[in-house]
């Protein structure tokens, strides 16, 4: 049978059907990802790891976080009830999150403290697990800057004027794009010193600006991701940097 006859007699339909099945199979195995957010606390930062997975969970979620030199985990803040195993050694952190809690999106959080002379730095990490019998792995995305001792008093929008206040500086948003799952990615520049980056949004021009997210940052350019929930349906965004007086 010629290739043309094969196509005419249903071969093309078979190929398309196979392609659809393969696409559906890949979708069922997709791991939407594991992300990190960082919030400054007195003398350190609180790290929150969030997951959203698609597929049949067949193992614990293994997370490894590598902190900047001089930083270490405050063991009293580790959520051992959510873990099957943990390993804390200096700036290296490994967690095995229980498979029984992975069927739904969730989070764990813990505090990391800065050592002497290590008031800023970065954190990078990776994750791995089995979904539907397939090993999945990837980087932990999201916030990466660690800055100790920059937690501010007062709500968003406050300006310096007394002890414990904060100074505000506008931060330029260079680009904005929609990524998977309705999340949006914002790239920024103009951060001249360590502090707390605050992201605000509004639904339309002339609308009320609402705080959507805040995170510790180090000097330089960077990017952040707002999940569909965090963006709150906003179409316009702005950023500012809070620093101590």
pTM score above 0.75: no
Q: How far apart are CA 136 and CA 131, in angstroms?
A: 7
The helix/strand/coil state of 53 is coil
Are 109 and 48 within 8 A, CB to CB? yes
Tens-level pLDDT at each residue, the chain (245 residues): 443 443 345 443 433 333 333 333 333 334 468 999 998 888 888 899 999 888 899 999 999 999 998 899 988 889 999 999 999 888 999 999 999 999 989 999 998 988 776 778 899 999 999 998 999 999 999 899 888 754 443 333 333 333 345 688 888 888 878 887 778 888 888 788 888 888 888 776 556 778 888 888 888 888 888 888 888 777 778 888 888 75
Domains in the chain: ranges and CATH: 33-142 (2.60.40.740), 166-244 (2.60.40)
Sort strands 236-244 and 166-178 into parallel, antiparallel or unpaired. Answer: antiparallel
Q: How far apart are CA 75 and CA 8, in angstroms?
A: 67
């Amino acid at each position: 049978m010629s290739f043309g006859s094969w196509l005419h007699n249903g071969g093309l339909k078979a190929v398309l059907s196979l392609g659809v099945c393969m696409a559906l199979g890949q979708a069922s195995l997709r791991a939407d990802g594991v992300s990190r957010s960082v919030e400054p606390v007195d003398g350190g930062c609180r790290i929150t790891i969030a997951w959203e997975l698609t597929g049949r969970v067949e193992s614990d979620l293994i997370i490894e976080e590598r902190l900047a030199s001089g930083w270490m985990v405050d063991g009293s803040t580790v959520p051992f009830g959510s873990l099957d195993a943990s390993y804390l050694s200096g700036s290296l952190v490994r967690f095995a999150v229980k498979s029984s809690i992975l069927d739904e999106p969730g989070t764990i959080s813990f505090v990391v403290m800065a050592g002497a002379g290590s008031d800023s730095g970065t954190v990078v990490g990776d994750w791995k697990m089995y979904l539907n019998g397939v090993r999945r792995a990837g980087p932990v995305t999201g916030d990466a800057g660690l800055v100790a001792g920059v937690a501010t008093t007062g709500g968003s929008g406050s300006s310096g004027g007394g002890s414990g206040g904060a100074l505000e500086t506008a931060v330029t948003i260079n680009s904005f794009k929609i990524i998977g799952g309705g999340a949006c990615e914002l790239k920024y520049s103009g951060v001249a010193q360590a502090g707390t980056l605050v992201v605000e949004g509004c639904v339309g021009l002339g609308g009320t600006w609402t705080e959507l997210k805040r995170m510790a940052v180090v000097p330089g350019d960077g990017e952040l991701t707002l999940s569909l929930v965090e963006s709150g349906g906003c179409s316009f965004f702005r950023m500012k940097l809070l620093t101590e007086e």
